[in-house]
């Protein structure tokens, strides 16, 4: 039965949105995956998408997939640039990975209006300010 299936809880994996200069020196929002664990994680897959309302129309972005392979302990990886016009959407990230031959997955959602400088706090491992979901 489905109720008998144990779903392991994801701990010490975080998504962060950080304001950094782009290649032209302009401030831009980037997403990062952070491994806060003391162990590596393997087979890391991140799926990103956006959806919501924009100019009174329903909008859904393409789903992008990023295979990161292995992430070392206490490390981070830049995932993607979030264009300014997508900040009004829900930006969703599904993260799947293996640890000790067990598969884990978790959804991280940055709701419309949450990606602002006012919501920034300390982001561990990257040692900068940003919006963090653990």
In the block, residue with structure tokens 């980037």: 30
3-state helix, strand, coil in the chain (%, to 5): 5, 60, 35
Distances (CA, A) of 53 to 39, 42, 48, 84, 88: 40, 35, 17, 14, 8
pLDDT in tens, 15-40: 999 999 999 999 999 999 999 999 99
Residue 87: is it exposed, middle or buried by C-beta count within 10 angstroms (0-12/13-18/19+)?
middle
Q: Is 70's pLDDT higher than 90?
A: yes
Task: Report, as an integer, the average pLDDT of 39-68.
Answer: 96
Q: Is 2's pLDDT higher than 70?
A: no
Mean pLDDT in the chain?
95
Q: Is 110's pLDDT higher than 90?
A: yes
The percent of residues in the chain predicted with pLDDT above 70, rounded, is 98
Task: Report, as an integer, the average pLDDT of 7-14.
Answer: 94
Sorting pLDDT into bands at 50, 70 and 90, what band is 97? very high
């Amino acid at each position: 039965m489905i109720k008998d299936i144990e779903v392991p809880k994801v701990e010490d994996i975080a998504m962060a949105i950080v304001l950094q200069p782009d290649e032209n020196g302009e401030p831009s929002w980037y997403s990062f995956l952070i491994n806060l664990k003391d162990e590596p994680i393997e087979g890391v897959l991140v799926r990103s998408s956006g959806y919501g309302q924009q100019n009174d129309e329903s909008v859904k972005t393409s789903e992008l997939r990023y295979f990161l392979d292995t992430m070392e302990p206490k490390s981070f990886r830049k995932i993607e640039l979030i264009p300014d016009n997508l900040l009004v959407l829900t930006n969703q990230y599904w993260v799947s990975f293996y640890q000790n031959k067990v598969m884990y997955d978790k959804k991280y959602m940055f709701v419309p209006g949450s990606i602002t400088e006012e919501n920034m706090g300390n982001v561990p491992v990257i040692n900068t300010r940003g919006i963090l979901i653990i």
